[in-house]
Amino acid sequence: MTAVGDGAVAAGDAAAPPPVTVTPAAAEVIRSLRERHGPLMFHQSGGCCDGSAPMCYPAGEFRTGSSDVLLASLEVDGVPEPIGFWMSKSQWELWRHTRLTVDVVPGRGSGFSLEAPDGVRFLIRSRLAT
């Protein structure tokens, strides 16, 4: 693992498939959010309530630290900069053998995540890493 600042660490191996990918539908919402809010980031904690949903914030609005892991810098067509995808270390320890996909579905998400007013919510689909 490589240090990434603020005591956070990056996960993954450069030769392995990325631990996080994005569906085309999620990419479309991400592009729209980027146009309206500027650079973005995702964070997924292991908490209750919306803890199983990735939360999208303006980049840097959610403070990451030594209890967080940078899983991926997502490259989305039409978005000029990578989008950091963070998760709490404790959650990553449970999910480290999975590949995660950020998707979007109709519905109400958390009031803190940027997509909430648009009537959609991000969610994670996971599968075992092979």
DSSP secondary structure of 12-77: S-TTSPPSEEE-HHHHHHHHHHHHHH-SEEEEE-S-SGGGGSPEEEETTSSPP-TTEEEEEEE--T
Q: What confidence score (pLDDT) does residue 53 get?
A: 87
CATH node for 2-11+18-128: 2.60.300
pTM here is: 0.84
| 22-36 pLDDT tens trace | 999 999 999 999 999
The pLDDT of residue 89 is above 50: yes
